[in-house]
Amino acid sequence: MLEAGIMLEEVPTFLEHHRQLEAIGFDEATAIAVADALTRAGAVGDRRDAVLEAMIASAAQQVDVQALEAQRQALEGELAELSIRAREDTDRLEALQTEVAALEQEVSQLQAVKAQLEQESERQAGGLAVVEALQAFLLGKTAQAEALWTTLEGLLVWRRKGGRVDDSVGALFTDGVKQKMLTFFQQLIRDGLTK
């Protein structure tokens, strides 16, 4: 060490530096190889410090680039998963919308059938009331005859309010009354012939 120009008081510092380099895997042979490489690259004197600073900056940038690349890859993976989930959610939504549309169509059809059944029920009920009232009237049962008169009065009220016999409501009244009265009279004739 004395031949290399290291003073006795510098020896502990020199040895400590040497131990530190060995601790990080930078032994004497590696240090010599690095020094030779820098010399061959023309990094000598003041230029050596500039080259080392540039190497440190480049290495830091490379580490940053690698970290950003790792983040990019992780984000691409997350994006792929989110895209798959979005497609699955879209498919689920479309299936539900299709189901809702089918159910709405079914409800609409059922409502139309219900309306037709209600109209038919009202028509049949009105016709039945007319027949029963007419029969009761003809047989002298005045309580049942009142139902016929009530139905006929309903038709008259409808006409007074501007309704016509051939509109949808009036047609229900008149067609039902005609049919039921015809049926009733036919039955009376049959009953009269069989007695």
Binned at pLDDT 50, 70 and 90, residue 20 comes out as confident
C-alpha 188/C-alpha 138 separation (Å) is 10
What are the φ and ψ backbone dihedral angles of 176, each rounded to 5 degrees? -65, -45
Tens of pLDDT, residues 41-87: 777 777 877 877 887 888 889 988 999 999 999 999 999 999 999 99
- Is the distance from CB of 34 to CB of 25 less than 8 angstroms? no
- Is the distance from CB of 119 to CB of 171 less than 8 angstroms? no
pTM of this prediction? 0.36
- Residue 40 in this model has a pLDDT that exceeds 60: yes
Mean pLDDT value across the chain: 78
Tens of pLDDT, residues 76-117: 999 999 999 999 999 999 999 999 999 999 999 999 999 998
Helices of type H across 41-167: 46-138, 142-160
C-alpha 33/C-alpha 52 separation (Å) is 15
Binned at pLDDT 50, 70 and 90, residue 170 comes out as confident
Q: Which amino acid type is present at position 129?
A: A
Residue 43 CA neighbour count, 13 Å, CB half? 14
For 105-118, give the DSSP string: HHHHHHHHHHHHHH
